[in-house]
Amino acid sequence: METLSDNCRVLISSDEIQDRVRELARRISSDYSGRNPLFITLLKGGFIFLADLVRNLSIPCEIEFVTASSYRNGTQRSADVEISAHLKSDLEGREVIVVEGIVDTGHTLVNLMSRLSEQRVKNYRVCTLLDKPSAREVEAPVHYVGFEIPDVFAVGYGLDFMEQYRNLSYIAELSPALGSGDPGRNVKKPEFSGSSAEPVIAGRSGRDRHGDERDHR
């Protein structure tokens, strides 16, 4: 069992995560009953969430991975996102579910959406374990949210700080010394909007950016 270091405190326990992932999987299985969605997961942060999510599905599915990179270093934000989406699957006409570990400013999702549009998917929804709505800078629709959290820096269950902590089975908040104050636990489990909101029919938008020294998320 991994140990929690002094500068972290538990935000969401392993049991809470597992219960919520099962709820999400049930909901997605019901919404996509009789279909075969393609789960596109953002590396690295989404890898553990995806693994638990798909093992709780009762529908067939396929899986792909894309890598999101940015100049984000540690807890610093950056809107400069690059997505490498050299997928083996042909996306044309597919129903896609994008799986993210956390949605923060929304720039990563907006960038990925423009890629999906270019590849002419039939539609997509977004499923994220964690959502920080108060940090949003651009509109990014999320249909399935595990937990809404305040604007803190979260680690664990796939999410890193300087590549550490991804292996924690729970979500922890980095302490005020490294993060941003003490907002209290304040974790919410929002209603899924998956059934009520139609999947997004992707339209073209966005731009490409290039650069060096990318930090793979």
For residue 217, state whether it binds Mg ion (rule: CB under 5 A): yes
Cβ-based nearer residue to Mg ion, 102 or 145: 102
Asked if residue 61 lies in contact with residue 27, where contact means CB atoms within 8 angstroms, the answer is no
- Position 133: which residue type? P
Stretch touching Mg ion by CB under 5 A, among 49-57, 158-166, 170-178, 188-196: 158-166
Q: Is residue 107 near ligand 5GP by the rule CB under 6 A?
A: yes
The CA distance from 152 to 48, in Å, is 20
In contact, 42 and 68? CB cutoff 8 Å: yes
Is residue 80 flagged as an active site residue? no
User: Of 144, 157, 161, which is closest to residue 48 (Cα–Cα)?
Assistant: 157
How far apart (Å, rounded) are the C-alpha atoms in residues 179 and 165?
15
Told to check if 104 binds ligand 5GP by CB under 6 A, we report: yes
* C-alpha distances in Å from residue 168, one per residue of 24, 111, 164: 20, 28, 9
CB of 104 to Mg ion, least distance (A): 10
Q: Please identify, using beta-carbon distances, which residue of 138 and 201 lies nearer to ligand 5GP.
A: 138
Of the two residues 25 and 99, which places its CB atom closer to Mg ion in the complex?
99
Among the listed ranges 30-38, 89-97, 103-111, 183-191, the one in contact with ligand 5GP (CB under 6 A) is 103-111
Q: Site for ligand 5GP (CB under 6 A): which residue of 40, 102, 116, 142?
A: 102
Distance CA 168, CA 156 (A): 5
Least Å distance, CB 67 to Mg ion, is: 12
User: From residue 86, how far is each of 67, 116, 119, 123, 201 by CA, in Å?
Assistant: 9, 11, 11, 19, 21
Nearer CB in complex with ligand 5GP: 32/155: 155
The interface with ligand 5GP within residues 136-165 (CB under 6 A) comprises 153-155, 159-161
Segment 84 to 123, residues that bind Mg ion, using CB under 5 A: none
Nearest to 160 by CA among 16, 8, 52, 20: 8
- Out of 160, 165, 179, 199, point to the residue binding Mg ion (CB under 5 A): 160
The residues of the shown chain that bind ligand 5GP, judged by CB under 6 A, are 42, 45, 68, 72, 81, 100-108, 153-155, 159-161, 217
